[in-house]
Chains A and B, each alone.
Chain A
Amino acid sequence: MSAEAAARDDPFRGNPWTRAAWVALAVYVVYASAQMELSWERVLTGAENASKFFGRMFPPNFDRWELLVKGLVESLEIAVLASALGILIALPVGFAAARNLMPAWATWPARFVIVACRSFHPVIVAILFVKAVGFGALAGILALTVASVGFIGKLFTEAVEEISLKQVEAVRATGAPFASVLAFGVLPQVFSRFIGFSTYQLDSNLRNSTMVGIVGAGGIGGTLFAAFQRFDYDFVCAILIAVISLIMAGEVVATGVRRVFLEGATLAGLFRRGGRPAEARLMEDD
């Protein structure tokens, strides 16, 4: 039977190579788990330990709430400042790295900067900055700025490289200077994605800002780690609840920012129920 005739019998016939690959993957998963001594006994013992541990965490202890609030506020400040600084730097660096707009002498250094910023986990960068500028929030802000530049810069460059150059060409044809071509031809095409990346990075910075404290770069992370080491598990629980609330609040703010910038909602409209402004779209045969 020819291959085509065989396909007529069963159009959904699988590829034997794909199936073999899935089997190989399953075998490897089992093998790797065995190598790493992942067993049900350990899970069960662990579950017992975990329940004891969780028992000591409840009820959460908010007695030292001033310390908690101080740490949270510092984390928030680190996150907001790092995001603002990161966005400010990522915008020109991201543009400079776009190969469809800029010459090689601009794109290569810019891409290098972005890759360097992206390479390391924020906590490692925080350790470096703590060594450089000392303990405290400054190290945290600098570390998260680096992380922001890496993330936003990379995604922004990719967004710029995907724009329609026809629109840019039309603006250039009017004799506009380069900055105006960027402002009128390029930026409108990438602005909404830029806002999306920025709000995502704000959320990410909020999470990371609670972490950099563990290495001494300020924020609630230090308080959390100290409480853990002192076996104050009920205070740990209070801190965790506070952090979750902070992240949730941050998400609400981020959604609000996106709605304001991208859908033209007014501040009042944000609080109206289901307040999404209607957009009239004309039919093609008008």
Chain B
Amino acid sequence: MKGRLIGLNGDTAVAFAAKQANVDVVSAYPITPQTIIVEKLAEYINNGELDAAFIPVESEHSALSAAVGASLAGARVFTATASQGLALMYEILWIAAGMRTTIVMALGNRAFSPNINIHCSHDDAYAARDTGWIEFFAENVQEAYDLTLQAFKISEDHRVLFPSIVNLDGFILTHSLEGLYVLDDKVVSDFLPPKEPYNPIDPDAPKTYGPLDLYDWYMEHKKLQDYHFNHNVPPVIKEVFEAYADISGRHYAPVKTFGLEDADVAIMILGSSAGSVRHIARQLREKGRKVGVISLTQYRPFPKEEIRKIVKNLQVIAVMDRSISFGSPGAQLYMDMAAALYNAKQKPLMFNVVYGLGGRDLTPDQIIQVYDKAEEVLKKGEVEEDQIWVGVKE
């Protein structure tokens, strides 16, 4: 582990990373649980610790709009939001990705209204999944810090040129103080030299950004974006993870697994809960139960090939979602997994578990309940209930 060990909450860690990344423009609107990020950055700037423009925009829609303008002008741009704020800027998410901006956005995962709830769900993370943004999930404050730094390097790479979201669970990570190793300023600035923009606004070489497409070119534009997103992004992510491992001693991978060398059943889960599940899995394995854990650091682009590889020897996966998609054949991660594995030669049985909505704690009891259910499915050899909910007051 390289770096200095300090204690920060998730929001502050993310702001600290953006400061070390020497961002040029911060364009953000406060919303619980991301407010500390915005406040911290304003403090850094006004105290002269960060040389950047802080645009105190009047809404999240304007936050991302201004971020798009700033990114096209060649600046290194950072923003953050959550829940309703993401929903408000939704149309611009597509534009930010389609116009190949390199914005990095921290998302303090929070539930969508109604009713208004300021605590953790993955509604906002999932809402962005179609839009063309790269998406990472942080499991703890260390990861939130590390992934923010790596996101800049990945997004700004000329082979990528897509914006990134770093997801960190609302309150659970955003407001919780954890120990983390932060790198020296010099190490970060070597890792992240000033942004080299691709085709920035240049009066000496005038270009038209954001024209209208009729039916004769829209599809081709989408195809090119899709091709770059699926082909160029994953290798660059791996490259950057490698480079970061060299400077930090911490090695990231698109997919994290635990116990899969001999597990029959596994839970798949995103975000901070992965740590909790791993803790319970460890206990169960000591008792001889063959259980495992899968979590994703890289959610978009979805690491289909890696997933197909690692599930080869599993019999049952309980895919846990901290969100629901009304009327869908399963919640969002479940649908991703089902699509990824449908055509695979070897695929386990899968069922969906809805948990933790609106900040409902995922407790050891609930986790054990899920593993029990998975083993029940294993014994029966079939999935009777596609989707169950845990932790809800029946």
Q: Is chain B a partner of chain A in the same complex?
A: no
